Copies of this chain bind each other. A is one copy, B any other.
């Protein structure tokens, strides 16, 4: 195994009291992070209202996202991805408590911002 190669499914702490956020790539315009969840979810009325666009993919596990606009819930399985525009309020409704859910999230600052 070459030192410059890492694996997105590896190095999962056995104990995960909080969701784990790890930045993989970052510059002034974007941030790519790995998120590891195990049963973590947003509180009942806690909504993310982000200044940045987000592209997110669930690589492993199962999760549900909810959107504030119409309260719709989408269920995600491994490989599912979607785009969440800035300020589209959403929350993590559920992640599977029995397994790790591993996400990649790409946060993209809007070019016209600032």
- Could you tell me which A residues sit within 8 Å of B by CB distance? 2, 4-10, 24-25, 27-30, 32, 55, 57, 59, 72, 74, 76-83, 104, 106, 108, 111
Contact = CB atoms under 8 A, between A and B. Distances in A.
Given A5-B81, A6-B82, 15 more contacts: A2-B72, A2-B74, A5-B76, A6-B80, A7-B77, A7-B79, A7-B80, A8-B80, A9-B78, A25-B55, A27-B108, A27-B111, A29-B111, A104-B104, A106-B106
A72 B57 CA distance: 31
A73 to B, nearest CB: 9
How many copies of this chain are found per oligomer?
Answer: 2
A78 B10 CA distance: 11
Contact of A83 (B4, B7, B76, B106): B4
B29 A29 contact: yes
